[in-house]
Amino acid sequence: MATVDVPLKRLKFGQTARKDGWWVMPLTTFVVFSAFIVYVTWSLLQGDNYWYGNYLSPLYEPEIFGSSPHAWFGPWHWWWFPFVKYSPAMLILIFPLAFRMSCYYYRGAYYKAFWADPVACAVGEPRDEYRGEHKWPLLIHNLHRYALYFALIFNVFLFIGAVKGFIFNDPSTGRAQFGIGIGSLIMLINAILLAGYSFGCHSLRHLVGGVVDQFSKAPARKKAWDCVTCFNRHHPKWAWFSLFSVALTDVYIRLCAMGVITDLRII
């Protein structure tokens, strides 16, 4: 039988025989994710122009302490932490960010894009050793399932916020009335996209359908598992669309609050 020698030589960083555009996806992830992180950080530190009438930016939902009418417990007093420039987003953003940063899909995407570990299949890596998730700091990703519990609670707040986006104050009577503005629709779409992202989470799939020996004996869990699996099938798409929608909803409300654009009322 004929034999072929295949030398097991370590490829240099970036070296590959691949002719396809293997670098497009990591590069796109790098650019989009970096832009998102820069924008969210800027928006978080702003602490201003994050609400407009009945609209509240998803980056600030829920507002626990703050100066807007959406705040649960009224204003933040500067003397509580005198050396910190307060922004209501500071108290809550860690939860959705932890959920997104530890997402199984995003990990795969940003390990390639930011750490080149691995860069792509059959492409030379910059390191000799495997830097797995069984050591710190990446071990922290195991908290993903707990981040999920918070994310599901935040989904409820976002839907409540979206419903509030349809309740306007009538300027002549001062009474609340149903209405639809472009902002109402944007907030609703954003809440749906974020829920679709959470509902397709791998940890949620395990939570509802894991540790079951026979699905035939647990029909309710089988149904729930099917439902999560359905969202899970397109998890990367939900991840990216919801990422864009969060940023765009914040931009829209911010521009309305700054008076740069006017919210168009359909009803």
Residues lying near ligand FES in the complex (CB under 6 A) are found at 103-105, 144, 148, 201-203, 235
Min dist. Cβ of residue 25 to ligand FES (A): 17
147 or 253: CB nearest ligand FES: 147
47 or 206: CB nearest ligand FES: 206
109 or 188: CB nearest ligand FES: 109
Q: How far apart are CA 200 and CA 238, in angstroms?
A: 8
206 or 222: CB nearest ligand FES: 206
In one-letter notation, the amino acid at residue 68 is: S
56: helix, coil or strand?
Answer: strand
Nearest to 90 by CA among 38, 126, 148, 47: 47
Min dist. Cβ of residue 262 to ligand FES (A): 36
Per-residue tokens: 198: 């959470």
Min dist. Cβ of residue 69 to ligand FES (A): 32
Q: Where are the alpha helices (DSSP H) in 47-81?
A: none
Min dist. Cβ of residue 183 to ligand FES (A): 26
Min dist. Cβ of residue 235 to ligand FES (A): 6
Q: How far apart are CA 267 and CA 182, in angstroms?
A: 10
Per-residue tokens: 263: 């919210």
54 or 203: CB nearest ligand FES: 203
Integer CA distances (angstroms), 74 to 45, 87, 158, 218, in order: 19, 13, 19, 46
